[in-house]
Amino acid sequence: MSYEERIANADGTTGGNRLLRLFGFGSREAGQGPASTRPSVQAERAALMGEIGDFLLRHQLAISAENLSRAHGITTGLNRSLSGKVSLLECTGEPVTQAWLDDVAPYDRDTHNQARELDDLAKSMEVSVTRFGETSRNAQAAASSYGRDLQAQVEAVEEVRTSDDVIANLTQIARAMLERTRTMEEEMRASELESRQLRRSLEKARHDATVDHLTNLPNRRAFEAVFATEKIAAQTELEPLCVALCDIDFFKNVNDKHGHETGDRVIRAVGQALDRISDRCHVARHGGEEFALLFRGLDVDGAKDALDGARERFAARHFVDKISGNPIGGVTFSGGVVNVFAHNDLSDALRAADEALYRAKEAGRNRIETG
């Protein structure tokens, strides 16, 4: 009996369909209830949920937030790197285990933490703006009150008979004005301090949202922004533009044998080596052990030669496990390079680079292929 048959319900529905019902997709007949209001959309959603559920159940993976996110990226193809790795693994007949998935696709909790931090920052900004508005309104009200008091005093001056009365009234108004001015100064000073703190927080949040904290390189989001700018500049200057994807060879073996701390050290080392290629080569950590590069002013052959030189220099290095002192040996990476202008957009170019990368893997690794 197959795994799918073993998890079948008593009524004959598979585990994938059970998962569908958990997310509100039952086995309604056509034309019954809300499911029939938009049949095409509902059917597509149900089909996607079925594929996600079947993937998790087929490989006996836990139904968790992390795995659902990963399965969505794999089944839809949105996570091209992970989808390709899973396809290669399945072609060999090997299961996608939880340990393997955790190694090749660590769940990015930092992204969720950043979202919460940005939400808190937005709330703080809203409070600060509200307070600043209140201070401004108080200042306006105070100025208006000064005007009314002075106008009243001017009118009173004409009626009083002695200068002592005028001086007393003016002194009283001056004291009130001085007190209000001091209060407003304190409020404005507090608002200015809050504004400075808010600007610093915004700058940090903006930086954190575009930087990979392990390598200190730009992340995928920042790379996409640089790509958009560099593509326009390259088109204007009639310069070639190439994009590449690199992936560390046998990285799972390094993690399994020497631990994640050593694995992180290797990722940082590869990132530094790629970042030294050229001032006109933009490097970003694309996710996991994968890096994206953008070569401005180099055609495909030139970009390949530049990347191949970095590959050779890095392959000649020998790493040592700092904890155990045991040699790790040489670490290599493979890559794929394509011409940006031969493709419709960044997504298509990255897909072609990814295909070239996997040709390099299949050809023996530690090499660069073009597409």
Report whether pLDDT(312) > 60.
yes
Residue range 123-146, pLDDT digits in tens: 665 566 566 666 666 666 666 666
Using only the alpha carbons of the chain, give its radius of gyration. Answer: 32
Residues 339, 303: Cα–Cα separation, whole Å: 9
Instruction: Tell me how far apart the alpha carbons of residues 220 and 81 are, in angstroms, rounded to a whole number.
Output: 13
Give dist(CA 39, CA 234) in Å, integer: 46
Report residue 207's pLDDT band, with 50, 70 and 90 as the boundaries.
confident
Give the integer Cα–Cα distance in Å for 78 and 73: 5
pLDDT in the model for residue 109: 47
Please report which confidence band the pLDDT of residue 1 belongs to, taking 50, 70 and 90 as the band edges. very low
User: If we measure between CA atoms, which residue out of 59, 52, 8, 49 comes closest to residue 26?
Assistant: 49
Yes or no: say if 356 and 371 are a contact pair by the CB < 8 Å rule.
yes
DSSP annotation of 59: T
Alpha carbons 195 and 193: distance in angstroms, whole number: 5
Q: What whole-number distance in Å separates Cα of residue 120 and Cα of residue 26? A: 38
- pLDDT (mean) for 350-359: 96
Instruction: Give the Cα separation of 304 and 292 in Å (integer).
Output: 13
Question: Is 289 noted as a catalytic residue in this protein?
Answer: yes
227 CB-near residues (< 8 Å, 6+ apart)? 243, 282, 294, 346
**Span 168-192, pLDDT tens digits:** 666 676 677 667 777 777 777 777 7
Euclidean distance between CA atoms 196 and 128, whole angstroms: 11
Tally Cβ neighbours within 10 Å of residue 40.
Answer: 7
Q: For residue 46, how many other CB atoms are within 10 A of its CB?
A: 19
Neighbours of 175 (CB within 10 A): 10
Q: Does the pLDDT of residue 247 top 90, yes or no?
A: yes
Q: Is the pLDDT of residue 17 over 70?
A: no
30-46 pLDDT, tens digit per residue, is: 444 444 444 566 777 77
Q: Which residue in 289, 290, 312, 355 is the catalytic one?
A: 289
Helix, strand, coil content of the chain in percent (nearest 5): 65, 10, 25
**Helices 80-91, 346-362: crossing angle, 10 deg rounding:** 30
Determine the pLDDT at residue 273: 96
Q: pLDDT (tens digit, 9 = 90+) per residue, 53-109?
A: 888 888 888 888 788 888 888 888 777 778 878 887 877 778 888 888 887 776 544
pTM for this entry:
0.54
Position 100 scores a pLDDT of 84
- Sequence-distant (6+) residues with CB within 8 A of 195 are 128, 132
